[in-house]
Structure 1
Amino acid sequence: MNAAHDDGPFYHGTKADLRVGDRLTAGFRSNYRPEVVMNHIYFTALPNGAGLAAELAPGDAAPRVYLVEPTGEYEDDPNVTDKKFPGNPTRSYRSSTPLEVVGEVDDWERLTPEALRAWRERLAELREDERGEIIN
């Protein structure tokens, strides 16, 4: 049984060029704290949330949002839920098992350049603040 009670659909945002059947796994550097290698793969039930993650991901490639299915157990992401904020308003989750790509979506809202700049500034501030620590 999953610790989270959301059946999806689920999305993952990235700048990677993926295909149906590809699997996303843990063990990569955090988009938000690159010095941290992540023990989980993160995803959300909100396509625009995945789009935000894709836009903030490092690199020059186009941001992309993929429809994904967890292959195992998953839980609420403690970085944006009860450990730091009440509930799970972002419907964000994480898993130590892979996510399988089942499609790509293109009907998510892109950030304006101003909004993207504001998010990057906020993340830079969090990196300097202990509250920005990642629960890995």
Structure 2
Amino acid sequence: MEFNPGNSIVKLCIQGMNMEENGRPEEASRLFLQAWNEATDDFEKFIAAHYVARHQKSVSDQLKWLETDLHYALKINDDAVQGAFPALYSNIAKCYEELGDHDSAKKNRELAKEFRDKPSDKGPFFHGTKADLQVGDLLTAGGKSNYKTELIMNHIYFTALLNGAGLAASLAKGDGPERVYIVEPTGSFENDPNVTNKKFPGNLTRSYRSPEPLKIVGEITDWIKQTPEDIRKWQEKLANNKGEIIN
């Protein structure tokens, strides 16, 4: 499964989020419910239920939609969805706590902790850059951020989506050709907190980071490259992004 921003259900949810940001919650709720009603597979239902849940006015209704969301997340059984489980179980625990069911609340808090420990993704993993590197070289933390040059990064970032690494290569600093390397983590890694459970539930871009080096084990030369116009739009979007990078 690969996240597709052009998916009709995803588009409806993006429209709903825009309504939320513009202070129009009723229109947002209508769009999210439309997304749910038009969803045709487990992944689309998982996405839509996430937003429907947060627009419920009663705790019992919120719990019903959160558990619906969890039901579809478990059915999908995909690495991109795994990152949603800690927040899902935590929110379900809060609902049970408010409803006075302390045993169910405790059970879900424990499940949230269990899924928070580490990602289950086995790769293969990719890193996009403009640096000219060789098999056996190590990519290490401590470089400047591609998005905020004054920030020294404490982690090295990578993804399990080839085209995501290709986009990162397009946006990387430097004048060299875009390169996408196959990498292997040499230590533990975690879901990238800058994207996981932000606009969308889970880690749909399968983006990760590690304080330990990544070892280059190969190079990919065939991926979908961004057009100059797409790169310009991404650069503008990043330049206008005022959010803080979680380092």
TM-score normalised over the length of structure 1: 0.93
**CA offsets per residue over residues 18-55 of structure 1, 9 Å max, x none?**
10000000000000111110000000001110111111
204, 217, 229: which is aligned to 1:114?
A: 229
Alpha-carbon offset, residue 90 of structure 1: 0.3
Secondary structure class of the residue paired with 2:240: helix
73, 76, 79: which is aligned to 2:191?
A: 76
Higher relative contact order (CA 8 A, sep 6+): 1
Alpha-carbon offset, residue 59 of structure 1: 1.4
2:161 paired with 1:46: yes
More helix by share: 2
1:12 alignment counterpart: 127
**CA offsets per residue over residues 81-110 of structure 1, 9 Å max, x none?**
025642000000000000000000011110
2:246 alignment counterpart: 135
1:92-111 alignment runs, 5 A limit: 92-111=207-226
**CA offsets per residue over residues 68-87 of structure 1, 9 Å max, x none?**
00000000000010256420
Mapped partners of 1:95, 1:79: distance in 2: 13
Matched AA of 2:233: A
Which has the higher Rg, Structure 1 or Structure 2?
2
Matched AA of 2:136: G
Mapped partners of 1:8, 1:116: distance in 2: 26
Mapped partners of 2:176, 2:199: distance in 1: 31
Unaligned ranges ≥5, structure 1: none
Secondary structure class of the residue paired with 2:177: coil
1:73/1:84 CA distance change after superposition, 3 Å? farther
Mapped partners of 2:131, 2:199: distance in 1: 29
Unaligned ranges ≥5, structure 2: 1-116
2:176 alignment counterpart: 61
**CA offsets per residue over residues 1-33 of structure 1, 9 Å max, x none?**
x71110000000000001000000000000011
Task: Tell me, yes or no, if the aligned pair for 1:29 and 1:38 is still in contact at 8 Å.
Answer: yes
More strand by share: 1
Count of aligned residue pairs for this structure pair: 131
Mapped partners of 2:131, 2:148: distance in 1: 18
> What RMSD over aligned residues (CA atoms) do the two structures have, in Å?
1.1
Secondary structure class of the residue paired with 1:69: strand
Task: Tell me, yes or no, if the aligned pair for 1:9 and 1:67 is still in contact at 8 Å.
Answer: yes
Task: Tell me, yes or no, if the aligned pair for 2:131 and 2:174 is still in contact at 8 Å.
Answer: no
